[in-house]
Structures are given as structure tokens and as C-alpha cells.
Structure 1
Amino acid sequence: MTLKTFPKFTKVQGFWRRQGFVKFVFVSLFGLFSYHAISVSTIDNQELSIQERAAKQASNIQTKVARRGDILDRHGNILASSRLLKRVILDPMLIHAAFIPDLAKALDMNEERLSTLIAKKRKRKSRYLPIKKNLTLTSPILINLIAFKKQRIKVCNNETINTKISLINKVLNAVRWQNVKGEEIVVEKCRKRRVGQGVVLQQDTQRYYPKSASMAPLLGRVNAENKGGSGIESEFENILAGTNGKTTLNFKTDHAYFNPTIESELTHGQNIELTIDTDIQFHAYAAIKKSVLKHEADSGSAIILSPNGEVLAMVNYPADDPNDKSLYNPSHYRNRVLSDKVEPGSTMKPFTMLLALDQGKITAEEDELIDVSKSIGHLKSNKKVRKYGDAITVKKILQKSHNLGTVNVSERLSKEDMYSTWSKLGFSHPLGLIPSIENSGSLRHFYSWGLADKRTLSFGHGPMETNLAQLARAYLVFANDGAIPPLKLVKNMPTYEQNTQVFSKKTTNKIATLLDSVASWDGSGYRARVKGYDVAGKTGTAEMVVNGRYHKDGAKRTFFTGFVPVIKPKYIMAVRLDYPKKCYNYYHPEKLNSCEGSNSAAIVFSDTMERILTNDDSIQVSLR
């Protein structure tokens, strides 16, 4: 019996090499596993679980910016809109020197300047360099950059590499039995790179105001964060701004794709349509600007209303162009029509006459004479006061803006009735047009009045102050048969206030015809005349209060409030100039006069209405 012999196994060629490779793989896997174990155990945020940490790392939030709504006038003309633009952001760390010549050409920039800017940013390791902004979608620069980003340029760099070492040495290095390195050599490596990696085109918007400075104090403007900073832009921020859309993308392990979760819906801002008429606004602004400059006034403002209380124009000067971001003077965005409370002077005299006529205290007929031969309070009856006679008609009192005659009529009225009437006219009550900036003025209760208060109130001083919009609204009684409606600045916005009946229709028509004489050759408002049209109104002049005291050296506010035509008015306008310093004689234009409502504010009314009426065929030219 022979013993069966088994073949003797011998180590084949390369055995140690294969064994070393297996050990290398094993050690590598063990090291990788240990690294991840340590990383997970040392998570920075100890409050988050491993699952929460993973979910956080596997999520991405995307934001879609809402487009700001437009502001329109009553005819749909754009007053403020957001233009879609682009801006160019460079990542200096990704911009290779080989890209700069072509990039400079695409950006229409000097190559040396671009290279310097990039070098400065790279030195600080900054990855953000805004290089161009406010590019329109049709900008040649934008077209050039789109083509530039598609290019590939061969880029060569010197790289330091180590020469190869044997596999056994690599394994021994891996298990740290030795530390053998290859020889370091420098080689040039070239490859094509897409040049657009460091060039980012970001979407941007720019608020644009087509009517420039003429609308600035009314509309306001947006700030650097595209939020309303003043005026309509600020007051209606919630409506105009809209809501940005936010979407979270989460990786779902069961489906292996990003599943979008909407955090907030994208809602674009809504448009706002104002009652403003851009043509009327432009005419009023041009007239105010001209007058402020000519008369060297500190400022000027005006408001024009339709009979139903809609605001057709609201202008202020000085004003800045909101499209020019380099200009910003807060006072040039001040809406003085609403924010300033002032004493309106003699523009209040018609309401004293209206109340007296309504109560039967006067008849306002040509045969009725009001005594002005005696002094009342601080108002003295002197030669200048009696130059129209010792007794004058109500028409003459209004026509010549006679203070003593007005006070004589007010003596027949009770302070309770005057307070109640002034309150019904809306003085000291908010208008609700732009509440955040509106100053409602004041009207002290009659309990606190003395005799002087009631008398001065009759011609627009004393216990009352008002803004220009309230004054203009009070004159709406002449367009609504003795009633006044609430004012309206935004179309399609409900108003809950009802018309307030203040005077009778007969009374308002009577006083309106008397005010026609004010804007005549014989009246104080003769420079408010508009050739070919019937105009009614009242001048006013008031000394400005400086440091709590009336300024006696010429600082005045001048006013004119009027309407056209006299019967069934279509336009009601109030004008105010602050401290006009140069006013001229009508017959001798080179000759200076003291500044009054008659030779400053009245001219603004005439200039504005002449332009408006020339373009309004619905109002017939008067044969007179």
C-alpha cells in the first residue's frame, strides 16, 4: 500500500506584493472608518441629533424675490416702477490672469484697472467683487458677458509634483513604518477651462420714477433695501412690497431626490392707482417752481382737488430727483401740503361771511353796509382802513381783504357757532391721506377763547392752525352746495366718511359770486385772473412764527385759494409760499413791492389754471 502524497504548496511569485496590498486596503478602510466615527462624535452643535444634523446638511433654501408693485396715476400712467436689471459679481479667486484681457473687453473696462481691482481682492482672499450694476437686459455689456461665459481658454500652470515611489514604500508609508518621499519636480500642466466660473450675473431691480422731482415729496422713494423710505412708497409698503417666496429642498432617502417644501408663497406686490392726474401735477409743479425761484421763497406747495374730493395734484418745491441716488436732502422730500400746520390768514374770511349769511346776521347785498369807522380790539380804524369809506359792503370786504370789516361781522356770531362750523369744515381733524406724515393742525376749544381769539379767528389767525390740504377741502363747499366730501388720494380704496353739510346751497352760491370780484381788476387777487374764464378765490398773508413769536421783519407766508369756474367749479386749488423775498409791481415789473398773497401766490394759481383750462374743452370760455 502506497501512501498518497499531497503536493507541496510553495509561495508563488509576487506573494509578498499581494499580501502588502491587502494590508494596505485593510488599514485604509480602518482609518477611514475611525475618522468618520470621531467626526460624528465631535459635532459642533451638541443640541442637534445625528439625524437632525444630517437633515440640515441635506437641505437647501431657495428664495424668490417678490417684484414691487407699480404706482400709477388716475389714467394708468406709471409714476413708479421696478425695472428688471442685472449686476455683475466677480470671484477674484477664480479669475485667472489669462481671462482678464477678454473679460475687460466684455465689461468695457480698462484692462489694467480691472487687473488691479482683482489683485487687491485676491490679496485679501476676498471672493466678492461687484464690478457692474444696473445693467438693462439689452445692455451690450450683458450680451458680451453671456458670450464670454461660454468660452474655454487654455490655461497653463506650473505645478510641483513628487516622482513615483514603489508600492511597497507606499504601503510602509501608510502604516507609518517609514516616510519615504519621491523627488519634487516642477512641471507645466495645461488644460482648457471655462472662463465664466468666476463671473456671476445676478438679477437686480431698480425703482424708477418717470416724473422725477415733480412727484418726489408725494411718492417718496425706496431705500437701499428696496423698502419704502417716505411718502406713498412708505405708507403702502405692505401692499407694494409683496412677499418673497421661500422653498426648502430636502433629500428624501426613500425616493432619492430633492423634495421641495414651500415655506412661504411668492406673492408679487400689488399696484396702487392714485387719483393724481400727471398733466395737472406737472402744470402745478412748474408754476410752483417758477414762483419759488422768481420770488426767492424758501419753499412752495399747492394742492388741486376735484369737486368730489379726489386729489388731482399735490406738489412741493424744492424737490430732488429720486432717480439720482447721489442726491438726498430730507427737506426736499417733505410733503408740506400735509405735514406743515400754518395760520392760513385771510383765506378764512369767506367762511366767516358764509356763517353770518347762513344765520341771517348779514344779507351780503349791495345796499347793506358794514361799519368800519370804529376800532375793535387791537384793530384800529384809521385813514388807511377807511379809505373805502366809513361803511362798506360785504363784497368790498372780501374784494379788498378788509380785516376790520370782517371782525365787525364776526362780532355778530357766537364763539360756539364759529367753533362748531370750523370743526365741521374739517379743521383739526385728520384727512387720512398719508397718516404717517399728516399734521392735523389745531383748533382750540371755544371755552379757552378770549374776545381777541374769536376776532382773529375770523380772518385766519388765533386759536387755529391748518395744513394746506384741509384749507383746500374747506373750499369744496363751493362745489358741493355747502357740503364737503372726504378727500381721496388712492383710487378703489373705500372711504367711510360721509359728506358733511356745513352751509346752505343758497348761501354758498351767494358768497361764490362775491369771491368772483376778488379775482378781478379791482380785487386783491387780480393777479389770479385767467383770461377768458370766471375765477373766484381769496388771497391770504400771514406773518411767520419764528422762535415762538411773529416775525416783524418781513418773514411771511402768502396764500391763494380759489376755484374755477365760479358756478359748479371743476378745479379747487390752494397755494402757499413760504417767505417770498422779492415781489414785483404788476404795472412796473422792475419795481419791488412788499410780498402779499396778491403778488405771489395768486400768480401761481393763474399760471397753473391757464395751462389746465387750455387743455380742458369741457369748460366754456367766458364771453366776459
Structure 2
Amino acid sequence: MSSSRDPRRGRRRPGGTGRPGPGPGGQRGERPRGARSSDGAGRRAGRETPQRRRQPSGTPPRRSTGSAGRSGSGPVPPPRRRFRRRDPQRRIRVAGVLILVVMVLFAGRLVQIQAIDAPTYASAASDVRLSTIDIPTTRGEITDANGNAFAVSVEVRTVFVDPEEVPDSKRAEVTDALTEHFDLDRDVVAGKVAAEPSRYQVIKEEVPPAEWKELEELGLEGVGAQVDYKRVYPEETGAADLVGFVGDDGHGLEGLEAVLDDTLAGEPGTRQVETGITGTRIPMTGGTAKEPVPGKEVRLTLDRDIQWHAQQALAESVEEMDAEGGSVIAMRPTGEVVAMADYPSYSPNEINESTASDRANGAVAEAFEPGSTNKVITAAGALEEGLTTPETVYTVPYSIQRYDETFSDSEYHETERLTLNGIMAKSSNVGTIQVGEQLGAEGLYEYLGKFGFGQPTGLDLPGENEGILTDPDDWWGTQLATVSFGQGLSVNAVQMASVYATIANDGVRVEPSVVAGTVGEDGELSATEEPTRERVLSEETSDELGTMLEAVTGDEGTAQQAQIPGYRVAGKTGTASRVNPETGDYEGGGYTAAFAGFAPADDPELIVQVVLHNPQKEHYGGEAAGPVFSDVMSFGLKTLEIPPSDSEPPDIRLTEDG
């Protein structure tokens, strides 16, 4: 290939095979559009073919920028697109704004939690972490009229162990000490000392303070004690059936403990304690939120010594007579109960060894037909209405027919001419029926109600039986006769004792009471409200009845066993048939023996009512219940320091002939 250099440019000018020369007209030749040089194009094509890059599978072929591409010999690739990056400063500014917004939100939430809602969250956290427990308080004592205790609360300790406070190296020592001190099973104690997770394990309850002090002196790590109180009933008070007992929670379950629970219990205090994650309490933490308020002392009208003696005398008589049970009531004429004994009974310190029947207070819960002790009401009504006098004479045969029934006296006798005094002294059923017929059904029913029959005693004791007193409109043909001498109706022992207290109180009935009041911290007695008082009989009628009842205990009466040396005694025996629960009639039901009276007869100070249920060895009231009356009355008169009578009993005419 030849070449020549252009002198003007200092270049080699290509030959014919180079660039095209000037075309016609002396100008550089230009290739017309759409034309191509065969040799030039071949060379470029030859050079470009081996340099063409392979495209990945599925990628459109890249368009050639050479003449071959423009010649339409193959697909033309799209031009490469270039992306411009945005301004980085702008991105930074946006991110900064977002971060600032988030921080503001967090800060606002923190302000809300720590400042605005802080008390709410603190309270919620405290509720989760802390709990409130009761601080036991002292239950009020139950005492007799002189302040002698029937029930008292004594301070004891609940000994516990905090396992987390016991070092591993000391666990064996603590376990051995607790086991030996309380005579417990070692494996059980060891399990409590090593309990996990736990902060409170009870080792022993009701530990006397002196015993805890001995243990405390050993300095055992993790061992502590809490103050508690235990209800204690002095042994042999004889008042268990009346006083009752408390349950494991310290609240009264029976007797006066239940009736007066609100007064005796007081108000427990409260303490906040920390609670672990498992719910166990940490008793050593927290403070007192409310101080406990001790319960009030309740003072009764009872005399502890008379109560004890009455219980003993009753128990001996029930056992001796082989009776099912019995009751003794000692009462003042103004209604205050001095003793309320019942048998069978129980020990309130050993509840688990008793039965429900043992714990029932039969003095109010056991209803019985009063028998001849009820004759005094028949006589009282007739005297008060002016239908008879103490010396009115009645013709009294051994038996009498009323409708389809024959009624007779307890012992055979010829027809007698007895005064009302004599009818009462000899306890004549036939004579009393005649007096009852004078009074009539409506009149007898009215006086029975005035004396408190068929209604609550007012003592508000658990299980009280009001007895049975049917409306006279429902009485059948013979019921006036039977009610006159104490059959066909029922009462409890307190109701019957109240009848004789009314007579002894000059005819004024005072609702029975057993609670004298409460004792404050200053030792002063706040007396209960005055009981209901109602005049039932005139003073004259009461005096006449007292004289009649004194004749009962005289040498010709049916209750000579009730006599007390040095004292004039008034009273009445009672022997009543019992209904057989299996047959519904009196056949095979047994008897109720009773005696009720007061002394001194000339100036009454004490009433005693004795009831024996179904005695087997002796069933007459005079023989079975009379000796118990004499025993309890004698002891009561001496205990209350009531002086003997200073007058002789009057001469009482019992028969028409004197």
C-alpha cells in the first residue's frame, strides 16, 4: 500500500484504499446517505465481529453503534439508561427528622408515666408487690357478775421459719433445734426449713410466750414468731352450753360467743406485707396500716360459783336417776339469771370430743310438758279474776269424767273437801280441773300468755324452743282439763322459772336476762337496756300464791324434800307424762320430773327451777327433782349471803275442817 504525506498537515494521506478522495468538483468525496463502501464496510465488519460481546441468556442483544447496525442487518439494542443518584444531604435530613419525632414520642411517654400517671402506676406496682393482712386483736372476756372469767383470750405465738434467711450451713442446726423443742417430725421440719421458693413456713401454732422466749434465746437464724390469741375456757365452770365457743377463725359459733360476736370480737388491725413472686408473704416487712381495736368485755348476770355447783348437782342427779338429761335455772325475782346448767354437756376446750346434742343448751332448747308446776297459773288466774279464794272449799273425788276421758289424782284417796290451798299442797289434778273450769279456756289461755308461754324468753339464745300453746279455739273437748294441770302444752325451763319469779316479784313479770352489760377500758359497766316489765298479778294475789306454795313444802305437802333448814321455802312439784315420739301418744313415753320454787318465802331473793327428763329410778317431781332444788337453793342462798328467815310460816288451812 502506498501513501503520501500531506505537506500542509504533516500527515500521511491514505491511498485509494483509505479515506475517499475528493469527489468531482475538487471536494472531498462524501458517501451518499444510504450508500456504503464495500471494502470499507467489510473491514469494519471484520474488525467488529470478533469484538461483539455475548449477552446473557434472556438478555436482548445490544445494538451495534457501527455502520453494520445502521445498515439494518440485525436488531438495534436500546440505548443504555443512566440513573442519577439523589442528593444524600436530603436523605440525612429526612432521617434526622424521623429520629427526632420518635425521640419526642418516647420523651412524652416517659413524662406521662413518670410525672402525670406516676401515682397510678406506683399504686398498681404496690398492689402487685404488697398485700394487706389482718393483725389479730384481743377478743373480749365473758365474765360473771363479779368479773370471774368464763371465757378469756390469752396471748400465744405462731412460730415460723423464713427459709431464705437460713444459711445452708445452718439448716441442720435449725432443723434439729425446732424438732427437739416442739417434739415434731424431723423430716417435716427439714422440708419447711429448706422449702423453695418460700419466705414463710409455719412450724408451730399456739405456742405460749414463755416457750417461745426459750426458743428465741437460741438465736436461730430465720426463725421468728407472730403474736396471736387463743380462746381459753377455765375448766369446770359448768357454763359451756350457755357460753358456747369460737371457731378456728376466732369468731363465735355457738352460745353467747355467737350471739355477742360483734361485741366480743373487736376490730382487727391491718398490716402491709411484701409478697414474693410466688405469692409467699414476707412477714417481717411492711408497716402497720391500722391498729387493732380490742373487743369489749361482756359481763353476765351469772354467779360462777352457783353456776358450777348447779352443774355438778344436776350431773350427779341425772346419773343417779338414769335420766336422759336435765336443766337447772337459778334466777332472781327481777329476771336476772344466776345459773343456767344443762346436762349432758361438754368441754369447750375439747370441741371435737362432743356431739351436737351435747352442745345444745337444753335450758332453752328442750321443751317439755310442765305438769303440776303449771297448776300455779290456773290458781293465779282464778284468784286474780275473783273467782275463788285460798280457802274456798272444793269437793275433790279421786277421779273425774270429762267427755270420753277419766282424770284422776296420782294416788288413790276418798272424796275430800279441800280448800284451794289444799288442792295446791296435795297437787290434786281433779281439784285443779274444777278451778280451771271456773276460769274457762279463754281466761286460762290469757294468763298463760301473760306469764310468757308460747313466746320467746327474750334471752336470744341459739336453738331456743318457744314451746307450744295452741289457741283455745283449737282446743278439743278435754284440753281445758289437761292444760289446767300442765299437759297438752309445752315450755322450756327458763319460761317455767319466769313464772315463779313473777310470783316472787309481787306479780310483776320481768323479761329474763343473762347479760348485765359491757365493761369499758375504764372498768365501768355499761348496763344493757332495761328489760320489759309487765304486771301480771296484783301484789295481794302474789302473796296468796306464795302462801299456797309454801304449804307444798310443809309437812303435809308433796315436796318435803325441798325444805331448807332456817329458810321458809315456797315451791311446786311437777310430774308430767312424755309423748312417745314413735307412737305420738303418752304410752311408753316416760315422765318429766320437775320442781320450781323460791326462798325465803317471806322475802324472795332466789328462784330455782329443776327439770329431769325421763328419769328411770324415780319419776315423781318431789322425789326426783326436789333434792336437787334443795341442794342448789341452799348453796345459792349461802353464796349470795341471803340471811335465814326470821319468821315462822303461817298456819294454812288445807281442808274444810282445817
For 2:558, the equivalent position in structure 1 comes to 524
Matched, 1:133 2:167: no
Give the alignment of 1:212-223 within 5 angstroms. 212=236, 214-223=238-247
Superposed CA offset, 1:194-246 (max 9, x none)? x421x232222111111446110000001111110100000011111112222
Conservation of the 8 A alpha-carbon contact between 1:86 and 1:134: yes
Shift in CA distance, 385/72, structure 1 to aligned 2, threshold 3 Å: closer
For 2:638, the equivalent position in structure 1 comes to 614
Larger Rg: 2
Shift in CA distance, 145/460, structure 1 to aligned 2, threshold 3 Å: same
Q: What SS is found at the alignment partner of 1:281?
A: helix
Matched, 1:285 2:311: yes
Give the alignment of 1:328-477 within 5 angstroms. 328-365=354-391, 368-372=393-397, 375-377=400-402, 380=406, 387=413, 389-462=415-488, 464-477=489-502
Distance 2:590 2:322 in 1: 12
Q: What SS is found at the alignment partner of 1:276?
A: coil
What amino acid is aligned across from residue 635 of structure 2 in structure 1?
R
What amino acid is aligned across from residue 556 of structure 1 in structure 2?
Y
For 1:160, the equivalent position in structure 2 comes to none
For 1:10, the equivalent position in structure 2 comes to none
Q: CA deviation at 1:285?
A: 0.9
Conservation of the 8 A alpha-carbon contact between 1:534 and 1:622: no
Conservation of the 8 A alpha-carbon contact between 1:532 and 1:623: no
For 1:580, the equivalent position in structure 2 comes to 615
Matched, 1:241 2:292: no
What amino acid is aligned across from residue 116 of structure 1 in structure 2?
D
Conservation of the 8 A alpha-carbon contact between 2:397 and 2:414: no
Give the alignment of 1:88-103 within 5 angstroms. 88-90=159-161, 94=166, 96=168, 98-100=170-172
Name which of 172, 187, 195 aligns with 1:116. Answer: 187
For 2:218, the equivalent position in structure 1 comes to 148
Q: What SS is found at the alignment partner of 1:550?
A: coil
| Greater Cα offset, 495-504 or 367-376 | 367-376
Q: CA deviation at 1:63?
A: 3.1
Distance 1:64 1:394 in 2: 66
| Unaligned stretches of 5+ residues in structure 2 | 1-118, 275-284, 518-526, 649-658
What amino acid is aligned across from residue 569 of structure 1 in structure 2?
P
Q: CA deviation at 1:390?
A: 3.4
| Greater Cα offset, 350-359 or 225-234 | 350-359
Conservation of the 8 A alpha-carbon contact between 2:193 and 2:201: no
Superposed CA offset, 1:263-303 (max 9, x none)? x6632211111111111111211110110111111111111
What amino acid is aligned across from residue 207 of structure 2 in structure 1?
L
Q: What SS is found at the alignment partner of 2:433?
A: helix
Superposed CA offset, 1:354-392 (max 9, x none)? 111222222221x72333366231564779766153332
For 1:512, the equivalent position in structure 2 comes to 546
Give the alignment of 1:316-331 within 5 angstroms. 316-331=342-357
Shift in CA distance, 549/383, structure 1 to aligned 2, threshold 3 Å: closer
Superposed CA offset, 1:486-506 (max 9, x none)? 111111354465321112211
For 1:42, the equivalent position in structure 2 comes to none
What amino acid is aligned across from residue 360 of structure 2 in structure 1?
R
What amino acid is aligned across from residue 233 of structure 2 in structure 1?
Y
Matched, 1:600 2:624: yes
What amino acid is aligned across from residue 430 of structure 1 in structure 2?
P
Superposed CA offset, 1:428-460 (max 9, x none)? 121221244322223211221233111111111
Matched, 1:544 2:569: no
Shift in CA distance, 138/381, structure 1 to aligned 2, threshold 3 Å: closer
Shift in CA distance, 349/95, structure 1 to aligned 2, threshold 3 Å: farther
What amino acid is aligned across from residue 643 of structure 2 in structure 1?
I
Shift in CA distance, 535/126, structure 1 to aligned 2, threshold 3 Å: farther
Q: CA deviation at 1:561?
A: 0.7
Shift in CA distance, 75/579, structure 1 to aligned 2, threshold 3 Å: same
Shift in CA distance, 575/286, structure 1 to aligned 2, threshold 3 Å: same
Conservation of the 8 A alpha-carbon contact between 2:237 and 2:308: no
Distance 2:271 2:354 in 1: 37
Name which of 149, 172, 184 aligns with 1:78. Answer: 149
What amino acid is aligned across from residue 368 of structure 1 in structure 2?
V
Q: CA deviation at 1:54?
A: 2.8
For 1:230, the equivalent position in structure 2 comes to 254
TM-score (norm 2): 0.71
Shift in CA distance, 249/218, structure 1 to aligned 2, threshold 3 Å: closer
Conservation of the 8 A alpha-carbon contact between 1:69 and 1:271: yes
Conservation of the 8 A alpha-carbon contact between 2:600 and 2:644: no
Q: What SS is found at the alignment partner of 1:491?
A: strand
Identity %: 30
Give the alignment of 1:150-299 within 5 angstroms. 195-197=220-222, 199-212=223-236, 214-247=238-271, 262=289, 266-299=292-325
Q: What SS is found at the alignment partner of 1:375?
A: strand
Distance 2:398 2:624 in 1: 31
Q: CA deviation at 1:476?
A: 1.7
For 2:596, the equivalent position in structure 1 comes to 561
| Unaligned stretches of 5+ residues in structure 1 | 1-47, 150-194, 251-257, 584-594
Shift in CA distance, 477/389, structure 1 to aligned 2, threshold 3 Å: same
Conservation of the 8 A alpha-carbon contact between 1:343 and 1:460: yes
Q: CA deviation at 1:577?
A: 0.9
Shift in CA distance, 384/311, structure 1 to aligned 2, threshold 3 Å: closer
Aligned-residue RMSD, C-alpha = 3.0
TM-score (norm 1): 0.75
For 2:503, the equivalent position in structure 1 comes to 478
Q: What SS is found at the alignment partner of 1:291?
A: helix
For 1:309, the equivalent position in structure 2 comes to 335
